[in-house]
Amino acid sequence: MPDPHAIASSDASQAVAVVLATTETSGLRCSGGTLLDRLTGQLATLPVRDVHVVARSSDIIHAPGGTHMIGAEGSRGLADDLRRIAKVARSSIGPVLVVAGDLVAHTEALAMLVEHPARDTGALVGETGRAGQVGRAPGPARPPVRTDGRSVVAAGTSFHEFHEAGEANGTFRGAFQVGVSDLAGFAETAETLAELAETGAFGPMDAGEAPGLLLVGLVRSGVQVRAARLGRLHADRMAGQADADTAVPRLAEVDEGEARLDAAVKTNDGFFATYGVSSWSRHLVKSVARLGLTPNAVTGISVGFAALAAIWFSVGTRPGLVAGAVLLYLSFVLDCVDGQLARYTRTFSPLGAWLDATFDRVKEYAVYLGLAIGYAAGLDVAGGGPDGIWALAVSAMILQMLRHTIDFSYSGARADASRVGAAWARPAGSLADPAGDARRTAAPHRPDRRAAFAGADAGRTPGAGNAVVRLSRAMEKASLTRWFKKIIVLPIGERMALIAVTAALFNARVTFVALLVWGGIAALYILFGRMGRSLSR
């Protein structure tokens, strides 16, 4: 398999990196030079076109080939640093990666940002250090963040604090990337922050907090920031030589290839997908990658297994139903593997996502058809007969279509609200309220960006005061209720398992009745949940 980091990209797709070597810790010694030398060497192995180093002076700089140093002289402080970053953002035709110069991280951690096929806006996020765990608690080197699903929804600094107990559920680890579509707004945000820094709005904040401050600006501007979760990987900013002496050798304790494979398997999937497939499919992903199969090819094979399952179901005999159930399970396994392979090889594509979503529906409805045909044949061994089976099959299909409509329409509404911006629908923090609370505005207006960034409160997650949201978060704290939330909505893994088990042990009538009962409960749960969340925005 080729080196995953050796990726040829056009200039437009390659990132431009800004390394903030504005603290003395960037010059800490490590094998081969300084931390800055090590970091710029890592960036040279990634799809990064140019590296700009912002520093107070040139005495700690050793710029390898292809590295462009800016700000070695004349950079007077935090405000100047922010303006230089804004200048790079305005001139870049590709994503901009901002990294703290004293960051010690696995190369794979940085690759999670710059090699992501979406080339989107994202930030490295790790777990919050707690008593008895490895890792420091949130602080200047690990600013607190709150994530909600895949996104960072609130961020803090030494000035922008989290006042609500338990609100922060992660820490920012010193590197983020801004996607091309967000660069113009990011440049404006950096310049606004520079103006505030000049006036002393952030108190005694030093230049070392620039990455965290910029992340606060992105989140409060309403930018969708993907949470690139570290998992087993390491990424930490160094406070002194002792930290560096410990952190750099510690990187070797983690196999980056295995960590990449672990990251390819979803950690927030459904119960059956997690324990019935993902518990062992990582080994299959590795084999498929060695064979050179693409995610789209795996999707096609999955469709083939589903078609065979439908054919065996249509036979209507007990052996046919059992064979169909086994083939349906294998189809679902490959349905999981195609996404895992895409994440492992970082070969996502809009076509692949569309094919996956479309064929999920096609496979499921083909299985419904096969089950109905087999049952309608009326074979005694399957206890079949034509009475009402087609009405049940069509009802199950309509119910699933309704559920998908609820899901996709809600997701689309959230995306539209996010694009309209903070002043219209779902602001990341009220731009006129120093507390940063998310509230609806009475009429559209252009908000005061300075007030948004100067507010000391890190901001509530939108909808934090809504009873539905509070209940949902409370259920996430216990394993039993968290899995209940996932199972009750009858995700695709549970549906495939339900179809396979009921068809193999009983018959199609039992399968469709089970789908209608469980699916109906799931539809109501989702509908009321979506309504409750919408009312909170």
The catalytic residue positions are 360
Q: What is the 3-state secondary structure (H, E, C) of 108-150?
A: HHHHHHHCCCCCCCEEEEECCCCCCCCCCCCECCECEEEEECC
The C-alpha atoms of residue 457 and residue 443 are separated, in whole angstroms, by 24
Spatial CB neighbours of 78, under 8 Å, sequence gap ≥ 6:
194, 197, 202, 205, 206, 207, 209, 210, 213
19, β-bridge pairs: 53, 99
Retrieve residue 272's tokens: 């059956």
Question: Cα 371–372–378 angle (5° rounding)?
Answer: 100
Using DSSP's 3-state secondary structure scheme, residue 440 falls into: coil
Contact 222/449 with Cβ under 8 angstroms? no
Question: Distance (Å, rounded) from C-alpha 210 to C-alpha 86?
Answer: 12
Residue 350: which of 66, 118, 535 has the closest Cα? 118
Nearest to 170 by CA among 121, 118, 135, 220: 135
Total number of residues shown for the chain: 537
Nearest to 372 by CA among 504, 503, 275: 503
Q: Which amino acid is at 264?
A: A
**DSSP summary character for residue 25:** G
- In single-letter form, the type of residue at position 461 comes to T
Q: Which amino acid is at 341?
A: L
Residue with structure tokens 């096969």?
370
Whole-angstrom distance, CA of residue 178 vs CA of residue 114: 10
Give exposure, 147-178, as e/b (b: 16+ Cβ within 10 Å). beeebbbbbbbbbbebeeeebbbbbbbbbbbb
E runs forming strands in 127-280: 144-148, 151-155, 170-178, 225-229, 235-237
Amino acid at 443: A
Structure tokens given for 101: 């110069």
Closest among 98, 86, 56, 74 to 207, alpha carbons compared: 56
